[in-house]
Chains A and B, each alone.
Chain A
Amino acid sequence: NAGVTQTPKFQVLKTGQSMTLQCAQDMNHEYMSWYRQDPGMGLRLIHYSVGAGITDQGEVPNGYNVSRSTTEDFPLRLLSAAPSQTSVYFCASSYSSTNEKLFFGSGTQLSVL
């Protein structure tokens, strides 16, 4: 049981490049979400999904796209990376969509030059 798996662990992009951060969970969790963590700040919600085929915006969705084609996977796409997107990204999941503890992945450290 691997829990929440994120890849890659580190990534450097140039401004304007695109990439996808991968997230997979093997716990059959209904709810998945993406957070970003910036120095001196708490985690901020980017996008979330309450089930396959259903996604919604969080607090800071601009510049990011998501999709949920399967229960297990929830990739985060940066279409045109900007330096403001330099951050640590965490994927998290929980059994249900209503106030359950989140299980976090180990994070992806992204630098946009």
Chain B
Amino acid sequence: GESVGLHLPTLSVQEGDNSIINCAYSNSASDYFIWYKQESGKGPQFIIDIRSNMDKRQGQRVTVLLNKTVKHLSLQIAATQPGDSAVYFCAESPLSRGAQKLVFGQGTRLTINP
């Protein structure tokens, strides 16, 4: 079956360092990938997305890398700040399904040490 998983459930980094959150997916038909940030007590907030015709996309302080060969997705956060502390979810959706049905991973909790 299809699943989206994360290599590490928790990640602790020093403030100012770069963070890398990894995600593995199993459905080779997945065409669209997205990262969300969820702070305690809030709904998921969109960070960045990427389609399968790209292998890298950059946003403000964030970069998403897609490796379709090994079905791997990563989120890089530059110069991590205390406000980056949250749970990060990756999600994937196969275009062949028509209507969007995002499948979410379990999440990685990112903790920033001062």
**CB within 8 Å of B: which residues of A?**
4, 31, 33, 35, 40-45, 48, 50, 56, 58-59, 90, 92, 94, 97-107
Contact = CB atoms under 8 A, between A and B. Distances in A.
Contact of A31 (B91, B100, B105): B100
A90 B43 contact: yes
B10 to A, nearest CB: 12
Interface in B62-95: 89, 91, 93, 95
Contact count band on B: 20 to 34
Given A41-B106, A59-B101, A98-B98, 13 more contacts: A4-B43, A31-B99, A35-B104, A42-B89, A44-B104, A45-B103, A48-B99, A56-B99, A58-B101, A98-B95, A99-B31, A102-B46, A105-B43
B34 A101 contact: yes
A103 B46 CA distance: 7
B45 interface: yes
B90 to A, nearest CB: 9
